[in-house]
Structure 1
Amino acid sequence: MFGGGGMNPRKMKQMMKQMGIDVTEIDANEVVVKTDDEDLVFDAPQVTRMDAQGEMTYQIVGEPESVEPSAGGAAGAVEGAEGGEEAEAEAGIPEDDVEIVAQRAGVPGSDAREALEAEDGDLAAAIARLE
């Protein structure tokens, strides 16, 4: 990850902890990266989340398959959704945005969604509204 060369992994973890960096492995089945030109689908990727001073960084390791972009952007998320979640996804506020605002502001998802709707989807404004 950091190109530690021959550094002892235990010592690397200790140094990262001292710098306030927390690394977590995520057991992901699939990751989809959506772009205007294509969707990159990673099946069975190795995903690592790094939390450094409140900023979350995700690292995806694997070989992606390039597919045509899905219509509507969040079609995959809506397919398996139940009634309430489907209506929320159609409202234009991505569930990922709701999760980010809820986590950052320390509030339930319903409050985060309301703040995002009130701020027309602006994450920073929604977080500021809740803090």
Structure 2
Amino acid sequence: MMPGVNPKQMKAAMKKMGMKMDEIENVEKVVVYTPSGNYVFEPAEVVGITMQGQTSYQLTGTPRFEPAKVEIPESDVELVSSQTQVSPETARAALESCNGDIAEAILKLTAVE
């Protein structure tokens, strides 16, 4: 709750305003999915706050970010492999290191060192 405020008084004030707080018990993990990756809160605490018929959820915890894995289509692997005369495995590894960017993978594999 809030520092310096009596929890009983806070609950009474919330009840007067029509607010209700309920902790969701036994939450182990919360995952927020995004196109660029996932935010994983583990362990996590979740509290539902209902006010005027609307429920909002408060999430507490420390997130870690897990980047999304780039899906490499087989056609991209074949294209890079044929353009650079390397094995499909080498082409796939180059595409993965370039986050699926075909042009960058080709340049990486054909660069003269």
Tell me the TM-score normalized by structure 2.
0.55
Measured after TM superposition, the shift of residue 35 of structure 1 is 1.7
Identify the residue that residue 11 of structure 1 maps to in structure 2: 9
Distance 1:55 1:34 in 2: 23
Task: Tell me if the contact between 1:47 and 1:61 (Cα under 8 Å) persists in the aligned partners.
Answer: yes
Measured after TM superposition, the shift of residue 68 of structure 1 is 2.1
Percent identity of equivalent pairs: 36
Identify the residue that residue 30 of structure 1 maps to in structure 2: 29
Measured after TM superposition, the shift of residue 22 of structure 1 is 0.6
Q: Gaps (5+ residues) in structure 2?
A: 71-113
Q: RMSD between aligned alpha carbons?
A: 1.8
Q: Give the 3-state SS of the residue equivalent to 2:8 in structure 1.
A: helix
- Structure with more of its chain in strand, by fraction: 2
Larger displacement relative to structure 2 (32-41 or 14-23): 32-41
- Structure with more of its chain in helix, by fraction: 1
Amino acid at match of 1:60: L
Distance 1:25 1:68 in 2: 29
Task: Tell me if the contact between 1:34 and 1:69 (Cα under 8 Å) persists in the aligned partners.
Answer: no
Amino acid at match of 1:11: Q
1:16-47 per-position Cα deviation (integer Å, ceiling 9, x unaligned)? 01101110011211101112222101112011
Distance 1:24 1:63 in 2: 21
Measured after TM superposition, the shift of residue 70 of structure 1 is 6.9
Q: Give the 3-state SS of the residue equivalent to 1:11 in structure 2.
A: helix
Identify the residue that residue 45 of structure 1 maps to in structure 2: 44
Greater relative CO (CA pairs within 8 A, separation 6+): 2
Displaced runs of 4 or more, over 4 A: none
Identify the residue that residue 68 of structure 2 maps to in structure 1: 69
1:62-117 per-position Cα deviation (integer Å, ceiling 9, x unaligned)? 1111112378xxxxxxxxxxxxxxxxxxxxxxxxxxxxxxxxxxxxxxxxxxxxxx
Q: Give the 3-state SS of the residue equivalent to 1:6 in structure 2.
A: coil
- Number of residues of Structure 1 aligned to a counterpart in Structure 2: 69
Tell me the TM-score normalized by structure 1.
0.48
Identify the residue that residue 59 of structure 1 maps to in structure 2: 58
